Structures are given as C-alpha cells and as structure tokens.
C-alpha cells in the first residue's frame, strides 16, 4: 500500500514518536545495567525496580488519557508530557553524576523515574489515538497507518540503544550519565518539533485542526432528559461510584494478601480491573459498543502474557546478553545494550513488508481477523523462546553461547510483535466510541502495564548462584528452566485465544 496516500499529519506523528521513543528506549537500554553496575543492586531487586518503572509507565496513560479526553485535549497533553519526560531524563543524568553520594543518587533516580512515568502517561495514549483521527471512520488505510506509526516508534527504538549504549555503557559506571543526557536532549527536540509543526499538519479529514478540543466535548450524547431521568442518572452514578469504591477496597485487600507491602503491584493489578469496569458501567454505552469493548478487554488480557515475556528484553535478556552471550565479532566486543537494537531493526524491516502481506491475503479473502492475528503473535513469541532453549540446553555455567541464538529469538519475537501490537492499536481505535478514544487507549496500555510489572516478577526468577528460585513448584536452576517458563506461558495463551477468535469476531459486529 502506497504511503504517499496517507495524510501528512501521519508523518509528524511518526517523527514525534520517533524522537520520544528514542528517549524512552535510550534510557531503558542502560537502565538495568545502571542499577546493577553503578548503583550495585542485586539482580532480583533491580528486576523489581525495572518492572515497577515500566509497569507504571503503561499505567499512567489511563490518567493522561482521561485528562486529555475531558480537559486538556491532545496537543496540550503531548506538550506537557514531553516536558515532564525531559525533566525526568535530566534527573537521571544528575543521579548518575553523583554516584559517590549514594543516598542522594538514589533519590534523584527515583525522582527521575517519577517524572518519566507521569510524562509518558500524558504523551503515550494521546499520540496513539491521534493517528486514528487523521482518517474517516471505516478507512481501510488505518491498519497500514498504524503500521507506519509503529515503524516510527521503532526507528527511535533502534538508534537509541546504539547511541546511548555507546556513550553510557563503557565499562566505567560514571559514564552512564552521558546516555541519560542524550535521552534528555532528544526529548527537548521532540517538544520543539511538535510545537513548531502541529498547526500546519494536524488537520482532520474535514479540514479542521485536531487535538485542540477534548474528545469528550466533541462527541456528546444527543438526548434531552427529563427531570425524572436526570434524577435516575444521578442515582445510577452514585450507585456505580459506591460499587467501584467497594470493589477497589476488596481488590486492594486481596492483592495486599498476595504481594504484602508491594504497593506498586497492588496499585497496578487493582487498576487493571477497576478502570475497565468503570467504562462498562457508563450508561451511555449501547449493546454493540459494550460488546466491542468486551472484545478489547478479552484480547488485552491475553496481551498481558505476550508483553510479560517480550519485555524480558530490557531486563533478563540484557543480563543474559551481558553475562552469558559471546558478543565478540572480529575481535570487537559488542556492548550488551546494543542487542536491544535488534528488535527495532527487525521491526522496521518487517513493518514495511507486513501491510503488503495483509493486503495480499485480503484480496484472496484469507486475511485473519484481528483476534487471530493476536493469537499468531503469541504463538511466535513462544517459538522464539523455544529457539533459545535449544541454545542453552545442557550448557555448563560460565560457558557463553553464540549470539545467533539471541538474534533468532529477537527475529521471531519481532514477527510476533508485528502481528500483535500495531494491529491491536488499530483494533482499539476502530472498536472504541470516540468519546472514550484516549481513555480506552490508556486501558489498552494498562494491559502492558500489568504485563511489565509481571515481567519484573518473572525476571526476578533469573538464575543466580546460591539462590533457589521456584514458580508454582517448578524449580528454576538453569537458563533452560527459565526460558521454558515463557515457552509454556505464551504457548498456552495462544492456544486459548485461537479457540476464542470466532466468538470475538462476532462480538465486533462487522468491524474488521
């Protein structure tokens, strides 16, 4: 499909997302190494911090999406989100500059993570929902548009580990600060790019500027209510609020029993149930809208298992690359952080191919429905981990394996990601009522939030000398045991989603 036929605004969103993702993935590429090599946290504690950070990064889009929908609009949310992320990156730079002052360095690091989390919450759901607003409802170019948008995300993700890893991961813990500083500078560039070009290119199909008026004010239910109906609605709202309050308390107590004082886990897992329920209680939803939203929720549940395994890239797979992978090429040792560029490199290549593949299948009446594509993505994820299981099976501790195994894993995972992630974004946009556009995108990212926190927990199972680790009674003593957890988890999730696909397709009520 020719990209020249897309609105020019898509390319502004593409460029803005490229710069913002450079910032995020540049920091992420060296973050777990910064925690273990500079701040000297053990792997389990570092994985927990990593999981909490990445989990909250995908939780706050709920709040940012709500604010954008109700009050700020997309443009203002993008601006303030990027500004907060810039502050966060500078605080990370100062944290890495003060390693001798241990307590201050830790507080600056936590402050930096806080600003990055809040800024990402404002930025991420609004930019994603903006793509869909550039097109008329039902425009068949939308899947292709989200794939192009996804390419922009991964162009930034590809260069970020190379640049930030080159300057930050030198073997000297004091040099991590340069990686964070570069990420901060690129975030500032994002703000400048968006602010100078938004009025020229962010134009809807009707010729009106996008992102100024909050979405909830653009689409209001057109109905005239009697005094009696208004009173009934008020009672319903109060009853719903009481129900949500009681459910929140019950879930918080349950998760407290499960996780103890881990308030990040309690907050994320409680929110992943409360916010979706709150949307379903909205009285303005029609039956068809409610069915379509249920489809998003069901698929989002299965997506949790995809990202929990996939997001090991920034934690356990980076540690595996650093400690147990032979990265020497013609006498030169590749930095471990550079391996995080493999996935976005493959994404850029495959994202240019996949729209043509889906288009060719569509012409033959063979294109899978969105739920089936998600199941294919999970299956490919399981196969990727199965490949690396062959690479590490019977390998003795201290022996490094060939880089080809990690390369194969990332290539197969990328095929799975292309089948799942951009199609998922497009599906959310097509199935969601406009008045909930950014909020529902935030709820979609909530599944990724839950997955990232879960990923941190699973990453803590990474084998370490002198520590016995178990999951549901399964002893994890070798890397083979560790990777088999992800083979089984994602494989079972894929099978169940395949079996549900036909039913979900019916619930979409004609949306493809």
- Select from 168, 127, 141 the least CA-distant residue to 31: 168
How far does CA 348 lie from the centroid of its chain?
Answer: 17
Task: Dihedral sign for Cα 205, 208, 213, 219, please.
Answer: negative
User: Which stretches in the chain have pLDDT values below 70?
Assistant: 1-4, 215-233, 397, 438, 512
pLDDT recorded at residue 171: 87
pLDDT recorded at residue 4: 47
Q: What is the pLDDT of residues 195-212, one digit of tens each?
A: 998 888 888 887 888 877
Question: Is there a contact between 10 and 174 (Cβ–Cβ < 8 Å)?
Answer: no
1-213 and 284-511 agree in CATH topology = yes
**Euclidean distance between CA atoms 76 and 235, whole angstroms:** 34
Report whether CATH 1.20.1250.20 matches the domain 1-213. yes
**Euclidean distance between CA atoms 116 and 62, whole angstroms:** 15
pLDDT recorded at residue 108: 96
pLDDT recorded at residue 359: 77
Q: What residue segments make up the domains of the chain, in order of their start?
A: 1-213, 284-511
Which helix (DSSP H) or strand (DSSP E) does residue 353 occupy? helix 342-363
**Euclidean distance between CA atoms 443 and 428, whole angstroms:** 10
pLDDT recorded at residue 220: 53
pLDDT recorded at residue 435: 76
**Euclidean distance between CA atoms 249 and 180, whole angstroms:** 39
**Euclidean distance between CA atoms 489 and 305, whole angstroms:** 7
Q: Are β-strands 401-402 and 474-476 bridged in parallel, bridged antiparallel, or unpaired?
A: unpaired
Question: Is there a contact between 149 and 129 (Cβ–Cβ < 8 Å)?
Answer: no
pLDDT recorded at residue 111: 96
pTM of the full structure: 0.78
Looking at 1.10.3430.10, 1.20.1250.20, 3.30.930.10, 3.30.9.10, the CATH number of the domain 284-511 comes to 1.20.1250.20
pLDDT recorded at residue 219: 54
Question: Is there a contact between 314 and 495 (Cβ–Cβ < 8 Å)?
Answer: no
**Euclidean distance between CA atoms 20 and 432, whole angstroms:** 25
Q: What is the pLDDT of residues 78-135, one digit of tens each?
A: 899 999 999 999 999 999 999 999 899 999 999 999 999 999 888 877 777 788 788 8
- Select from 146, 182, 144, 145 the least CA-distant residue to 162: 182
Task: Provide the mean pLDDT of the chain.
Answer: 85
Taking residue 499's Cβ as centre, other Cβ atoms within 10 Å add up to 10
């Amino acid at each position: 499909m020719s990209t020249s036929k897309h609105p020019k605004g898509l390319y502004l969103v593409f460029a803005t997302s490229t710069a913002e993702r450079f910032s995020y993935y540049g920091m992420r590429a060296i973050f777990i190494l910064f925690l273990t090599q500079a701040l000297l946290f053990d792997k389990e504690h570092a994985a927990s911090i990593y999981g909490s950070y990445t989990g909250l990064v995908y939780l706050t889009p709920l709040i940012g999406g709500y604010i954008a929908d109700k009050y700020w609009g997309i443009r203002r949310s993008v601006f303030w989100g990027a500004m907060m992320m810039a502050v966060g990156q500078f605080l990370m730079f100062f944290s890495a500059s003060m390693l001798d002052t241990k307590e201050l360095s830790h507080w600056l690091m936590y402050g930096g993570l806080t600003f990055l989390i809040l800024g990402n919450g404002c930025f991420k759901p609004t930019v994603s929902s903006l793509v869909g607003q550039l097109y008329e409802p039902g425009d068949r170019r939308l899947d292709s548009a989200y794939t192009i948008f996804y390419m922009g995300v991964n162009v930034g993700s590809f260069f970020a580990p190379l640049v930030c890893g080159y300057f930050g991961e030198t073997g000297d813990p004091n040099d991590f600060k340069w990686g964070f500083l570069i990420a901060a500078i690129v975030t500032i560039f994002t703000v400048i790019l968006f602010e100078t070009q938004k009025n020229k290119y962010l134009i809807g199909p009707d010729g009106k500027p996008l992102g100024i008026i909050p979405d909830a004010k653009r689409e209001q239910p057109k109905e005239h209510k009697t005094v009696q109906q208004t009173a009934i609605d008020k009672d319903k709202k109060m009853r719903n609020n009481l129900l949500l309050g009681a459910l929140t308390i019950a879930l918080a107590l349950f998760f407290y029993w499960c996780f103890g004082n881990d308030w990040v886990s309690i907050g994320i897992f409680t929110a992943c149930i409360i916010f979706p329920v709150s949307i379903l209680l909205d009285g303005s939803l029609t039956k068809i809208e409610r069915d379509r939203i249920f489809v998003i929720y069901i698929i989002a549940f299965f997506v949790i298992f995809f990202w929990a395994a996939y997001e090991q890239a920034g934690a356990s797979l980076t540690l595996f690359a650093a400690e147990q992978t032979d990265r020497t090429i013609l006498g030169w040792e590749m930095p471990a952080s550079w391996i995080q560029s493999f996935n976005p490199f493959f994404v850029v290549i495959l994202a240019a191919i996949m729209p043509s593949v889906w288009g060719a299948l569509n012409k033959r009446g063979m294109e899978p429905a969105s739920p089936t594509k998600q199941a294919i993505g999970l299956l490919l994820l399981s196969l990727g981990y199965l490949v690396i299981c062959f690479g590490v099976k019977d390998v003795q501790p201290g022996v490094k394996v060939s880089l080809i195994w990690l390369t194969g894993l990332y290539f197969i995972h990328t095929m799975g990601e292309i089948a799942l992630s951009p199609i998922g974004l497009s599906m959310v946009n097509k199935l969601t009522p406009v008045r909930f556009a950014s909020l529902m995108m935030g709820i979609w990212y909530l599944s990724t939030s839950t997955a990232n926190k879960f990923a941190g927990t699973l990453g803590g199972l990474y084998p370490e000398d002198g520590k016995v680790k178990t999951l549901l009674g399964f002893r994890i003593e070798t890397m083979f045991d560790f990777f088999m957890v992800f083979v089984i988890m994602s494989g079972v999730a894929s099978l169940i989603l395949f079996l549900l696909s036909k039913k979900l397709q019916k619930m979409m009520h004609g949306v493809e």
